[in-house]
Amino acid sequence: MEPISEADRDRLLTAYEHEAVHLEMRDVYATNIERDRFHTWLRGEELDPVAEAEWWRPWFELMRRNREAGKVLRRLRIVSEPVTDYIRFECLDAAQLVAAGEDVRWLPRRRASTLLLPGNDFWMFDRRTVAFTHFSGDGHVLDHEVTTDPGIVSRCAAAFERISRANLTTTPVKQARQALGARLRDIRRDAGLTGRALGGACGWHFTKVSKLEHGRQNPSEDDIRIWCDVCRATDQIPDLIATVRAIESMYVEWQRHMRAGLKRSQTSSVPLYERTRLFRGYENTVIPGLFHTAEYAAAILRFWNEFLDLSSDVDEAVATRMERQRILYVGNRRFVFILEEQTLHTRVGDTDVMLGQLDRVLAVMSLPRVSLGIIPALAPRYCLSQGSFWIFDEDRVQVEGVSAGLDITQPREVAVHVKAFGLLQRSAVYGPAQRFAGTRRLARRVEQERWM
């Protein structure tokens, strides 16, 4: 291994071609670049929004360029529980990293005992180069070393993937709730109160205290005020309320997510699409985006542009969505989709748009890596799913609603959606029974309407 300066290490973040991964295993970091921000937050003071925007600007700009070049950045963090103040601070910053386009995940340290991990944090670039960071005991950076030794790179890559396959808690919602709950528990204990006593003093059932402390329920701002009043910790209220608001902001509201434009909302999913090898999707209203024609996509994006009061360039967003469809043809990926018959009937655009889209569906069915089933309206039902969802490999589910979306990574929740998808597959028809009796018959009907 060879010494490398921090500046040279940072240059690797712009020079990699496909994927960068970062493994972080410490509970405390004392890096100079964020020291002032951390201590301001630790004192319970609000971080200046203007200064924060300027602080994050270089990273957002770097990530924007990397996303546009089709690059992926994955970050894994191993943390002790209860978490340290620094990790609680990181939970808040994680929302910014995700917004920039990173995939950020956490693993409780007790689950890492059998994973045989490296001794130091590292960055790995394109599975060819590894840069290790050496820290002092109190978390200050000492120096960096870099290697391209195939054996070391291979072991680091294997270690990173072992963590990826472990029972990960995806940032930011669940981990942030758990960190907040641990802090509330400390405040209660410092006040010398049992959970039952605190519940009684707050006028709550005692089980609410347990739910809040274990991160199973997010407290309201009034809950925070009551908790701190009873525990005589009113000085903690401003910081705790700021934490609650940060957690609530991690729920993806479409209007906020798309405020930077429809084009960005399309590009933000590119890293996830690039690394996924098995796509499974269920749609009950419209054709999935991967199968859209440009005209069909434009009609849908124009609706959302107006509905959410945006001022986006729809043409740019459509072009980005069309470019995203290249994953249907490159790489070793499989696509398994189940559509309700209604998706073929939902009128999007005019007759020409519908005819073009139905023809596109027929073409997609012939792709060797695509399995497309359609559930007839009167077919026997084995699952009564109420909303569309997509499953990415075995570890992530995305559910879209009218005003917001959910990003699910809890293994039990993912397993429920996988089970539901299997039942939906049983209701679907495939091959000629679906291809001709469904889409071609509907195409003829739409064509007839043209002349009515």
Homologous superfamily, domain 176-249 = lambda repressor-like DNA-binding domains (1.10.260.40)
Question: pLDDT tens string for the chain (452 positions)?
Answer: 899 998 999 999 999 998 999 999 999 988 777 788 888 888 878 778 788 888 888 988 898 888 778 788 888 999 888 888 888 888 777 767 876 778 788 888 888 888 888 999 999 999 999 999 999 988 889 999 999 999 999 999 989 888 877 644 444 466 667 778 888 999 999 999 999 999 999 999 888 998 898 877 888 889 999 999 999 999 989 878 877 765 655 454 444 444 445 444 544 566 788 888 999 999 999 999 999 999 999 998 888 888 777 766 788 888 888 888 888 888 889 999 999 999 988 999 888 888 888 888 888 888 889 999 999 888 888 988 778 999 999 878 888 766 556 777 666 678 889 999 999 999 998 875 444 445 555 555 555 555 44
Q: Are 260 and 317 in contact (CB under 8 A)?
A: no
pLDDT for 246-291, tens place per residue?
A: 565 545 444 444 444 544 454 456 678 888 899 999 999 999 999 9
Instruction: Quickly name the fold that domain 2-171 has.
Output: Endonuclease; Chain A (3.30.870)
Are 2-171 and 254-450 the same fold in CATH?
Answer: yes
Chain Cα centroid distance, residue 344:
29
Q: How far is it, in rounded angstroms, from Cα 132 to Cα 29?
A: 15
The CATH classification number of 254-450 equals 3.30.870
**DSSP calls for 206-230:** HHHHHHHHTTSSPPPHHHHHHHHHH
Torsion of CA 168, 172, 173, 176, to 10 degrees: 90
Q: Which of 310, 300, 287, 304 is nearest to 357 (CA)?
A: 287
Helices (H), strands (E): how many in the chain? Answer: 20, 15
Q: Specify the pLDDT at position 445.
A: 55
Q: Is the dihedral of CA 235, 239, 240, 241 positive or negative?
A: positive
Going from N- to C-terminal start, the domains of the chain cover 2-171, 176-249, 254-450
Stated pTM of the model: 0.46
Edge-first strand listing for the sheet containing 396-400: 252-253, 404-408, 396-400, 389-392, 278-283, 334-340, 370-375
